[in-house]
């Protein structure tokens, strides 16, 4: 379990260093609202390649329906050759 958590933490760290930006902001009503922007393609130490895409929150100023997040998409080996 620790190995999985460490891998995910390393993915987040690498994505943020490679081009995904933390655009989170504070609101009076909801406190800190997660928001991410940008994209990054990176290779993990085990050789797997990933594309990370930052997404902002959805909703209105009155109602946050979903916090922002980073989407991690594995890049298949076949696509690397193209």
Distance between CA 9 and CA 77 in Å, rounded? 23
Would you give the distance in Å from CA 54 to the centre of its chain?
5
Cβ(34)–Cβ(21) below 8 Å:
no
Distance between CA 20 and CA 70 in Å, rounded? 8
The structural domain count of the chain equals: 1
Structural domain span for residue 42: 2-80
Tens place of pLDDT for every residue, the chain, 82 residues? Answer: 577 779 899 999 999 999 999 999 998 888 999 999 999 999 999 999 999 999 999 998 788 999 999 999 999 977 555 5
Cβ(29)–Cβ(21) below 8 Å:
no
Provide the whole-model pTM.
Answer: 0.83
**Distance set, CA 68 to CA 41, 42, 77 (Å):** 19, 21, 29
pLDDT the model gives residue 80: 53
pLDDT the model gives residue 17: 96
């Amino acid at each position: 379990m620790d190995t999985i958590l460490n891998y995910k933490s390393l993915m987040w760290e690498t994505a943020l260093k490679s081009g995904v930006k933390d655009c989170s902001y504070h609101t009076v009503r909801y406190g800190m609202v997660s928001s991410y922007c940008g994209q990054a393609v990176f290779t993990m130490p085990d050789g797997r390649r990933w594309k990370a895409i930052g997404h902002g929150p959805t909703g209105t100023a009155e109602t946050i329906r979903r916090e922002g997040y980073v989407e991690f998409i594995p890049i298949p080996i076949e696509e690397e050759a193209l």
